[in-house]
């Protein structure tokens, strides 16, 4: 089985994905890392040198490749992946794939992201928590129609990583 984790940046996809993979004895793949290895460029360098359209096409290509060739994998997607091309349809139609939306509230995301803005090119330019709140709110408004297509939705607010992993396992098995 492939478990696909979707959600906004800082919702815990990679952290939870690694813990879930250990628990299930599955492999863990972060789609952005996979793309960087295949393209021999960082995601930000791909954006700079080849543009977002190229990146989004490659993202869909590699997502489809992984969904068709891997088993027993936890696959963490970038926050925007479900929103481009037909990526959510690919996930929904793939055999032996379950999708999980790690749902975090705007205040929880602001709290996490305000500490890590420098490491996130998309939000590095945002100066205040108020502006960050507005940015995240707008993004989530646009992305929720895609995220909500996931088979399972897990609210992550005020939960430990262990509690989130346990809740995912209870939902799936």
List, for residues 54-105, the tens digit of each pLDDT value: 999 999 999 999 999 889 999 999 999 999 999 999 999 998 999 999 999 9
Is the pLDDT at 106 greater than 90, yes or no? yes
Other CB atoms within a 10 A radius of the CB of residue 162 amount to 11
CATH number, domain with residue 26? 3.40.50.300
Point out which residues pair with 27 in neighbouring strands: 73
Please indicate if the annotation marks 79 as binding a ligand.
yes
Rounded to an integer, what distance in angstroms lies between the CA atom of residue 82 and that of residue 112?
22
Tell whether residue 56 is among the known ligand binding residues.
yes
Does 12 appear as a known binding residue?
yes
Share of the chain above pLDDT 90, in %: 83
Residue 85 labelled as part of a binding site: no
Range of the domain at 113: 2-172
Question: Known binder of ligand: residue 7?
Answer: no
Tell me how many domains the chain contains: 1
Enumerate the H helices of the chain as residue ranges: 13-24, 31-39, 43-50, 52-69, 87-93, 106-113, 129-147, 161-172
Distance (Å, whole) CA 141 – CA 145: 8
Note the pLDDT of residue 38. Answer: 97
Q: pTM (2 decimals)? A: 0.94
Q: Is 14 annotated as a binding residue?
A: yes
Res 102: pLDDT: 98
Q: Is 116 annotated as a binding residue?
A: no
pLDDT, mean over the chain: 94
For residues 28-33, average pLDDT: 97
Q: Which residue has the higher pLDDT, 120 or 38?
A: 38
Question: Which residue is listed with tokens 């909500």?
Answer: 148
10 annotated among ligand-binding-site residues = yes
Say if residue 120 carries a ligand binding annotation: yes
CB of 7 closer than 8 Å to CB of 103: yes
């Amino acid at each position: 089985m492939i478990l696909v984790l979707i959600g906004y940046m800082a919702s815990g996809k990679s952290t939870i994905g690694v813990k879930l993979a250990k628990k299930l004895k599955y492999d863990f793949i972060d789609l952005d890392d996979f793309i960087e290895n295949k393209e021999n460029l960082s995601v930000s360098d791909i954006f700079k040198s080849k543009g977002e359209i190229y990146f989004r096409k490659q993202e869909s290509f590699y997502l489809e490749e992984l969904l068709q060739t891997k088993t027993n994998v936890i696959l963490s997607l970038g926050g925007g992946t479900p929103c481009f091309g037909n990526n959510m349809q690919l996930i929904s139609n793939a055999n032996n794939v379950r999708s999980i939306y790690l749902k975090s509230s705007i205040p929880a995301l602001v709290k996490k992201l305000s500490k890590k803005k420098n490491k996130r090119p998309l939000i590095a330019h945002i100066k205040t928590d108020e502006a960050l709140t507005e940015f995240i709110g707008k993004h989530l408004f646009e992305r929720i129609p895609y995220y909500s297509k996931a088979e399972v939705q897990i609210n992550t607010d005020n939960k430990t990583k262990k509690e989130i992993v346990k809740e995912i396992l209870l939902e799936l098995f």
